[in-house]
Structure 1
Amino acid sequence: MSNLHTHMQYNDPLTIIARKGDAVDPYVDRTDSLPVINSMITLLEIPSSTDKVVISGFVEIDQHVYEKKQKLAENEFLVHYGMGTIQFHPSQEGRVHLCRYKGRGLIMYPASRIYAMITRNPDVIKTLQDFIEESQRKLDETQLAMERVEEVIQQSIDQTGQARRATDHANQAADEAIEAANRAKDAYQTTRLVYKSPVSDLRELRDTYPFPEIGWTVQTYKDGKRYRYDGNNWIEIDLFGQNLQVVNPYRDGLMSVAEHLKLNEIPLEVQDRVIVFCKESYVFQEVIGVVAPFPFHGEILDVKGFCGVYGETETEIRIEKSRDLINWVDIMESPLEFNALAHVDNKKAKFSNKQVSAGDLFRIQIIKAGLDIQHLTIQLTIRT
């Protein structure tokens, strides 16, 4: 368990949660994926200067080396171990890097020691604690006002309920008289049949008679069904020619035996096949590919993207195709994109080339990796 140190000589102390770094309370391995902002990365914990910070593809330089040359190379970084910050070359601005280190703990500052300048004449400042207390006071006042409003609303509801009950009693007698008249009308409408010209099927029925009246009756000659409009929907009431036999290989029915055999000879050749690209854990600006060639001719039908852990920023992905694993061609007109905080893509991806030949190889190119996005799956559907 980490020790909690506070400087109690202050009313609002600075709090440090620190680990001892021994066998009982060791430093914790940390892996932070963070963006470079203003040439700096602020780690989520204070790193151990003994164990150092490791960033793939970069070299850490010491403070005294930096003081001599006063600048960093593109592949160098400087760690301020007391503050938990890492300084980079300006060319790394906006890029996300994976930082591995051993965490020593945290430094937490009280809200009363974080201030903002309100005006410069004269200099007036407010602390974060001032804003918090002022907000709480406003919330308390709002809560009291809402309680008074709720009392007035409840009184109005009670009065409205009394008036509604009186109106209900007055309307009940009129409703009973109307109900008796409606029952007589319903008895007539449920038995009335007004025959109209037949149509081919139910879809044509709705198009031909868009504003039917109760009792209209229409037959669909494709299947022999008869429909009656009941005031809300077309209801099937009977089937003309129910005694006709269905066709089989030996006897004619609703179609001839020859038509039946010819229909059975038509092959079902269309089939949708799927290529899946997966990346477990964190996703970076990288290439993810499928080594085996796709063995069929076809056409790209759709692409879908999913991620188990969404990214804090946008992600952009392109799909590339090759015949020799050397020359790759981008087949996207617009990329597959994940919006920030989204588990699925935004369905705006378009292809400039959908044709697939047997032997084509595919891969995905991560153009922009969202912050902390993990467990990526891309599903490419090809119709063969």
Structure 2
Amino acid sequence: MDFLKLYNDPILYHKRKDTYDDPYMSYNETHSILNGRIFLTENPNRENRVVVSGGNKEWKEIEDGELEDDCYRVDYMMGVVFFNSSNEGKELQVKYVGEGAHFFPAARIWIKRSGNTVVETLQGLIDEAEDCIIRMNERILECERVIKRCIEITEWCRAITSNYEYVVENTKKEYKPLVNTYTELLDTYPNPLVGWTVTVRDSGIVYRWDGFDWINISISEEFDGYDVITSYNEPHNIKRVWLRLNAPPKKRRIKPSVDAPIGGLIWFRKE
């Protein structure tokens, strides 16, 4: 215990002057007896005495001697009223005139002791509580930072998901049976869904419905060549060269060009 600090933390006493500006205060308080005593709000004035009532008894104040069941003793210096232990827990009315009060520093109020040695004071408990509050506030701030970061990540994920959904919506293809002409395309698919893809046989153009119109998405023969499909059934996409075989499907690429293509394409030489 830091006694130097303790002695610089004195007990303060505020005593009323009993004047017009600073009069004594009349109190009528209700208290329960705890550990054989009642602590008053202020130190009572000795001349006006302390009057106790309640508990179905006629109470008598005594100065000294043993406390009987219906007696009480007042410490006018400290503002404490003492009772016989048989009255423990009783609720009583206390009337008195207050002339001031002592104010004790928390460092001089003990809450734990070992014999006559003080182990812990109220100030120590307050300091521990303040440290806990500081640590708790730090944890709260850290949690708020984590929550803020989680919100940012969530918003980022939503944006990425939205972009992904947009890309999927605008690039997905669902191939439908081919038609002979563009007019037949409009007649055959009057209520298309986004992504429907149809090949027009007479022009060789592949159209995709984007939600508003049929868009030409045909690949460039000059740069991309043709797909070669070997299968028994005719494919929907006529941009692929079909070799009908009674064999499992297999896909390759064929390139019609004057010069030999680079890569593993099948070269169809143009004159």
Where does residue 123 of structure 2 map in the other structure? Answer: 129
Where does residue 166 of structure 1 map in the other structure? Answer: 160
- Secondary structure in structure 2 of the residue aligned to 1:77: strand
Query: Structure 1 residues 20, 138: CA separation in 2 closer, same or farther (over 3 Å shift)?
Result: same
Where does residue 60 of structure 1 map in the other structure? Answer: 60
Where does residue 30 of structure 2 map in the other structure? Answer: 33
* Conserved 8 A contact 1:35-1:96: yes
Structure 1 distance, partners of 2:111, 2:70, is 36
Q: Pairwise mapping of residues 168-183 of structure 1 onto structure 2 (< 5 A)?
A: 168=162
The alignment's C-alpha RMSD in Å is 3.0
Identity %: 28
Given candidates 136, 144, 157, the residue that maps to 2:138 is: 144
Query: Structure 1 residues 93, 152: CA separation in 2 closer, same or farther (over 3 Å shift)?
Result: closer
* Conserved 8 A contact 2:62-2:71: no
Structure 2 distance, partners of 1:124, 1:89, is 28
- Secondary structure in structure 2 of the residue aligned to 1:150: helix
Deviations 1:107-145 (A, max 9, x none): 11101112344768xx67232222222332333233334
| Count, aligned residues | 160
Deviations 1:122-180 (A, max 9, x none): x6723222222233233323333433343233223212211112324555797xxxxx9
Given candidates 84, 100, 110, the residue that maps to 1:105 is: 100
Which residue type is aligned with residue 102 of structure 1? V
Query: Structure 1 residues 117, 101: CA separation in 2 closer, same or farther (over 3 Å shift)?
Result: closer
Where does residue 39 of structure 2 map in the other structure? Answer: 42
Query: Structure 1 residues 149, 104: CA separation in 2 closer, same or farther (over 3 Å shift)?
Result: same
* 1:79 CA drift (Å): 1.5
Structure 2 distance, partners of 1:100, 1:116, is 30
Where does residue 85 of structure 2 map in the other structure? Answer: 90
Structure 1 distance, partners of 2:41, 2:147, is 49
* 1:19 CA drift (Å): 0.8
- Say if 2:18 is the partner of 1:21: yes
Query: Structure 1 residues 91, 115: CA separation in 2 closer, same or farther (over 3 Å shift)?
Result: closer
Q: Pairwise mapping of residues 358-369 of structure 1 onto structure 2 (< 5 A)?
A: none
Structure 2 distance, partners of 1:156, 1:43, is 54
* Conserved 8 A contact 1:58-1:77: no
* 1:59 CA drift (Å): 3.9
- Secondary structure in structure 2 of the residue aligned to 1:78: strand
Give the structure with the higher percent strand: 1
- Secondary structure in structure 2 of the residue aligned to 1:47: coil
Which residue type is aligned with residue 71 of structure 1? L
Larger Rg: 2
Query: Structure 1 residues 53, 118: CA separation in 2 closer, same or farther (over 3 Å shift)?
Result: closer
* Conserved 8 A contact 2:38-2:82: yes
* 1:78 CA drift (Å): 1.8
Which residue type is aligned with residue 62 of structure 2? D
* Conserved 8 A contact 1:60-1:79: no
